[in-house]
Structure 1
Amino acid sequence: MMAVQESFLRCTVCERDAEHEVVYAGRFVTQIVCVHCGAVTRLDVSEAYLPDLADRIQTKPRRMAGVFRDDPAASVTSFPGRVFSKPLRMLREVRDVRRSRRRDG
């Protein structure tokens, strides 16, 4: 799952302590953007990401079974939407990892 978190970090470009947007693909940080100056730092996580993605896909049935077991009513109502949204979320995640490999942005 791709997520954007806000964090207060020291920018290596403008050298200010400023708010940054930290972009995650799965468990990996792929990009950090300084809100003050707009500097973008991309992190190439592709070598670690692909094995992690394979593991997440392989363990998904077991994790879903646990969710259904822990809260069956909520799982039944959310499941149809998740089935349709998950492929799109995964494609966005892979796209972000591919972008992190590019030097030109």
Structure 2
Amino acid sequence: MEIKEMEALLFCVYCKEEVDHSITYVNDKLKNVECLECQHKMEINLNVNREFYKEIYKRISSKPERMTKEYREDLSHFLYSLPVRVVSKPYRILKDINQSRKIIRGFKKES
């Protein structure tokens, strides 16, 4: 799960002019938009737990297809890198889970 923040020049209905806004996305879904001039914030109800589960499901269900594509493209590289990937996978999963838990905790504190 990842959070992306960006700035954009948008029309603010409170300021009545185009000003910079901060836009926050969670997994490419809009979470909030905040005017940087008047600090008016528009929140979008987003079920972060559901987004997390959808991401996990997508990653697990697409793994066989991704591995098949990878070994068809370059079998020698696939076989060479497989032992390292098998050993490092638990650490990579743990890193992803910890990052997602921090994001979920952050959104629970906001609510």
TM range (shorter): 0.5 to 0.7
| Identity percentage of aligned residues | 14
CA distance in 2, matches of 1:28, 1:99: 19
Describe how 1:82-101 pairs up with structure 2 within 5 A: 82-95=92-105, 97-98=107-108
Specify the structure having the higher radius of gyration (Cα): 2
Retained in 2: the 8 A contact 1:14–1:37? Answer: yes
Q: Does 1:41 align with 2:51?
A: no
Query: Structure 2: any 5+ residue segments left out of the alignment?
Result: none
Retained in 1: the 8 A contact 2:52–2:100? Answer: no
Identify if the C-alpha distance between structure 1 residues 36 and 57 changes in structure 2 by more than 3 Å, giving closer, same or farther: same
- Shift of residue 9 of structure 1? 1.1
CA distance in 2, matches of 1:31, 1:4: 10
**Corresponding residue of 2:57:** 58
Q: Which has the higher contact order (CA 8 A, sep 6+)?
A: 1
Query: Structure 1: any 5+ residue segments left out of the alignment?
Result: none
Determine helix, strand or coil for the equivalent of 1:59.
helix
Aligned length: 97
Retained in 1: the 8 A contact 2:49–2:104? Answer: no
1:55 corresponds to which letter in structure 2? K
CA distance in 1, matches of 2:43, 2:35: 12
Give me the TM-score of the superposition, normalised by structure 1: 0.62
Give me the TM-score of the superposition, normalised by structure 2: 0.59
- Shift of residue 54 of structure 1? 2.1
**Corresponding residue of 2:28:** 27
